[in-house]
């Protein structure tokens, strides 16, 4: 049990700071042999607090071994809230304002952390079943009330068999929580991005615990815990050159069924640096192509010599899953990444992409439901698994075994990196590239620092010229 009646309250202790100018007062007491102390700036405050402790002890009240205070006090009442109940409350608080993908991130972080706060193994469901119950149902505001009976049983076990939130006032407990939340199932450290994301979510959760007066302060903020080093730079080895990119697009077009309709999908990323969630949401009205010109000799209509077009858009549609979106769709339409609602972005469409898009728009699969440029064969949204499989097939068709095993264009997203790198290496000012790519200049230069080639030689030439060499 987390209570005791063995309480001893000592005299108030006064202490001066190093300068000897400020005096503070500390109330000292013990519960079950554990020492506690609480500082106050004024003697009267310390005396009032000590008197309350003495009165509760004389009245035979039970004291909490977790907080050191009488369980009848308001804070101790809050301390009875189990970690699982609190985690559900935190997920519910975040639900309305969070994107569907962030809702998933919250659920994953809380699921990873919760085993650190189990109080018993008796009657515990299977580990996989328990994790699934938490991630898909318990920490999903939309799904929790619809949980199947066997899942509901697992969630009820959690509510009874997780420690109270107040247990995290102990540094050892919060360290265990953080270590478990940032580790894989095999005990090894999780990927750096997962570690940083889960730590941030847990820190936000414990800020909420302080707001609810379940804790007096956020214990994570005072913990000496070293986060792993990370880099946001793009791996230069993942960036394809123009010859490789064209070969990959050709290989995609030769694939049966979905191949021809996906050429423009990948080309948009390579030539305009759009993110996948931005490309899947493009409509025909987002594309502005130059008018065709008539050949005076043949009379045929052709692309103009300077065939630049534009893409302009204001919405992205990241994949989340029906259980995480408000309307039950697979993708959630959101404002552009790191941009407020209504913010638009315009990107130039170079001649090679203009030709590809015109061919795509005039094909039978060019316009789908609601004017979508890219859609599934059955008329619905373009499945992520469809374009990822097509990309992997193209890599195998174009690259050697060694190149396939390397990071070279391993992800579809690497096409965006290739485009931004091309712009920077072509000498386009960073401010313009940042605008087209939807980055800040600071982030742009940090991410793509290693992908800019030839700039050092150009700088040396300028310096030599300035020195008259």
Are 430 and 318 in a shared domain? yes
| Residue of higher predicted confidence among 342 and 46 | 46
Query: Does residue 403 lie in a domain region?
Result: yes
Q: What is the pTM of this model?
A: 0.70
- Predicted confidence (pLDDT) at residue 70 exceeds the cutoff of 60: yes
Query: Does residue 127 lie in a domain region?
Result: yes
Q: Which of 286, 311, 317 is nearest to 383 (CA)?
A: 317
- Give the end of a domain, one of 21, 45, 76: 76
pLDDT at residue number 191:
87
Are 320 and 413 in a shared domain? yes
Q: Which of 354, 333, 355, 330 is nearest to 342 (CA)?
A: 333
Are 320 and 407 in a shared domain? yes
- Give the end of a domain, one of 58, 76, 94: 76
Say if CB 424 and CB 451 are below 8 A apart: yes
pLDDT at residue number 77:
47
Q: Ranked by mean pLDDT, which of 54-58, 363-367, 424-428 comes out on top?
A: 54-58
Q: How many CB atoms lie within 10 A of CB 198?
A: 24
Q: Which of 183, 169, 41, 38 is nearest to 109 (CA)?
A: 183
Burial class of 210 by CB neighbour count within 10 A (0 to 12, 13 to 18, 19+)? middle
Which residues constitute the domain of residue 65?
3-76
Place of tokens 């697009």: 249
DSSP states along 196-210 = HHHHHHHHHHHHHHH
Burial class of 430 by CB neighbour count within 10 A (0 to 12, 13 to 18, 19+)? middle
Say if CB 38 and CB 47 are below 8 A apart: no
Rounded CA-CA distance 425/82 in Å is 55
Mean pLDDT across 200-226: 90
Are 59 and 113 in a shared domain? no
pLDDT at residue number 76:
44
Q: Are strands 334-335 and 315-316 parallel, antiparallel or unpaired?
A: antiparallel
- Predicted confidence (pLDDT) at residue 245 exceeds the cutoff of 90: yes
Confidence of residue 231 (pLDDT cuts 50, 70, 90): low
Query: Does residue 144 lie in a domain region?
Result: yes
Are 32 and 121 in a shared domain? no
Are 305 and 366 in a shared domain? yes
Mean pLDDT across 183-207: 92
Burial 125-157 (b: 16+ CB within 10 A, else e): beeeebbbbbbbbbbbbeebeebeeebbebbeb
Are 318 and 381 in a shared domain? yes
Neighbouring residues of 210: CB distance < 8 A, sequence distance ≥ 6: 216, 217, 218
Are 24 and 161 in a shared domain? no
Query: Does residue 458 lie in a domain region?
Result: no
Say if CB 354 and CB 307 are below 8 A apart: yes
Angle of helix 100-113 relative to helix 171-181, nearest 10 degrees?
Answer: 120
Mean pLDDT across 282-300: 84
Are 254 and 385 in a shared domain? yes
Query: Does residue 148 lie in a domain region?
Result: yes
- Predicted confidence (pLDDT) at residue 462 exceeds the cutoff of 70: no
Are 177 and 42 in a shared domain? no
pLDDT at residue number 415:
94
Tokens of 113: 């952390």
Mean pLDDT across 91-101: 93
DSSP states along 354-414 = HHHHHHHHHSTTSS-GGGBSSB-TTSSB--HHHHHHHHHHHHHHHS-HHHHHSSTT-STTH
pLDDT at residue number 447:
83
Mean pLDDT across 412-428: 90
Are 105 and 204 in a shared domain? yes
Q: Which of 235, 366, 387 is nearest to 319 (CA)?
A: 387
- Predicted confidence (pLDDT) at residue 336 exceeds the cutoff of 80: no
Are 117 and 248 in a shared domain? no
Query: Does residue 462 lie in a domain region?
Result: no
Burial 314-337 (b: 16+ CB within 10 A, else e): ebbbbbbbebbbeeeebbbebebe
pLDDT at residue number 381:
83
pLDDT at residue number 153:
87
- Give the end of a domain, one of 55, 76, 97: 76
Mean pLDDT across 406-423: 92
Cα Rg, the chain, nearest whole Å: 30
Edge-to-edge order in the sheet of strand 287-288: 287-288, 309-313, 345-349
Please count the structural domains in the chain. 3
Share of the chain above pLDDT 70, in %: 92
Residue 417's CATH number: 1.10.443.10
CA distance between the termini of the chain:
83
Mean pLDDT across 463-468: 72
Q: Ranked by mean pLDDT, which of 142-151, 339-348, 353-362 comes out on top?
A: 353-362
């Amino acid at each position: 049990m987390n209570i005791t009646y063995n309480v001893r309250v000592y005299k108030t202790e006064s202490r001066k700071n190093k300068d000897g100018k400020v005096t503070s007062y500390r109330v000292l007491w013990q519960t079950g042999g554990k020492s506690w102390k609480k500082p106050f700036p004024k003697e009267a405050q310390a005396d009032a607090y000590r008197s309350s402790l003495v009165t509760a002890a004389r009245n035979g009240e039970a004291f909490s071994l977790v907080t050191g205070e009488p369980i009848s006090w308001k804070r101790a009442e809050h301390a009875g809230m189990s970690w699982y109940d609190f985690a559900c409350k935190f997920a519910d608080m975040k639900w309305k304002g969070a994107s569907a993908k962030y809702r998933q991130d919250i659920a994953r972080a809380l699921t990873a952390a919760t085993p650190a706060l189990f109080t018993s193994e008796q009657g515990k469901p299977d580990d996989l079943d328990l994790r699934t119950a938490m991630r898909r149902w318990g920490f999903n505001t939309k799904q929790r009330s619809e949980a199947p009976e066997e899942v509901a049983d697992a969630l009820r076990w959690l509510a009874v068999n997780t420690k109270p939130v107040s247990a995290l006032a102990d540094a050892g407990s919060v360290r265990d929580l953080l270590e478990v939340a940032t580790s894989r199932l095999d005990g090894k450290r999780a990927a750096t991005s997962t570690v940083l994301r889960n730590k941030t979510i847990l820190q936000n959760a414990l800020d909420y615990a302080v707001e609810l007066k379940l804790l007096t302060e956020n214990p994570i903020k005072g913990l000496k815990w070293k986060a792993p080093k990370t880099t946001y730079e793009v791996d230069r080895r993942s960036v394809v050159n123009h010859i490789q990119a064209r070969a990959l697009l050709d290989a995609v077009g030769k694939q049966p069924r979905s191949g021809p309709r996906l050429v423009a999908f990948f080309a948009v990323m390579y030539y305009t640096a759009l993110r996948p969630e931005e490309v899947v949401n493009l409509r025909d009205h987002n594309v502005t192509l130059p008018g065709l010109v008539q050949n005076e000799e043949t009379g045929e209509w052709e692309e103009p010599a300077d065939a630049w077009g534009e893409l302009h858009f204001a919405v992205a549609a990241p994949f989340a899953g029906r259980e995480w979106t408000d309307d039950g769709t697979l993708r959630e339409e959101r404002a552009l990444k790191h941009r407020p609602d209504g913010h638009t972005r315009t990107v130039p469409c170079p001649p090679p992409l203009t030709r590809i898009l015109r061919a795509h728009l005039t094909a039978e699969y060019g316009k789908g439901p609601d004017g979508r440029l890219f859609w599934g064969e059955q008329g619905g949204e373009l499945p992520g698994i469809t374009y990822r499989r097509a990309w992997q097939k193209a890599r195998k068709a174009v690259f050697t075994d060694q190149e396939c095993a390397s990071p070279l264009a391993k992800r579809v997203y690497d096409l965006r990196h290739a485009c931004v790198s091309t712009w920077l290496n072509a000498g386009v000012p960073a401010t313009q590239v940042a605008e087209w790519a939807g980055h800040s200049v600071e982030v742009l230069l940090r991410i793509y620092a290693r992908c800019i080639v030839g700039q050092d030689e150009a700088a040396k030439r300028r310096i030599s010229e300035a020195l008259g060499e």
